[in-house]
Amino acid sequence: MGPNLTQAEGQVFGIGCKIFTIAGPVILYGVFASWVLGLGYWVLKLIGIF
């Protein structure tokens, strides 16, 4: 038998949302970490270290 396609979510919102439950925090952490590192680099550049 094939997959159960009678669910309201379907494949795009069902499986797609499952993927982003793992990828969401990873993307958020990456964006936040790059923002913090960029801010630190900018401050050090203002001071004259870089």
pLDDT digits (tens, 9 = 90+) for 5-41: 555 666 667 776 777 787 888 888 999 999 999 999 9
Please answer whether residues 33 and 27 qualify as being in contact, where contact means their C-beta atoms are separated by less than 8 angstroms.
Answer: no
pLDDT value for 8: 61
pLDDT value for 17: 73
pLDDT value for 22: 79
pLDDT value for 24: 83
Instruction: Write the Ramachandran bin of 48: left for phi over 0, alpha for psi from -120 to 50, otherwise beta.
Output: left
Give the position of tokens 């009678």. 6
Please answer whether residues 41 and 50 qualify as being in contact, where contact means their C-beta atoms are separated by less than 8 angstroms.
Answer: yes
Contacts of 15 (CB under 8 A, 6+ apart): none
Would you place residue 45 in the very low, low, confident or very high pLDDT band (cuts 50, 70, 90)? very high
pLDDT value for 18: 76
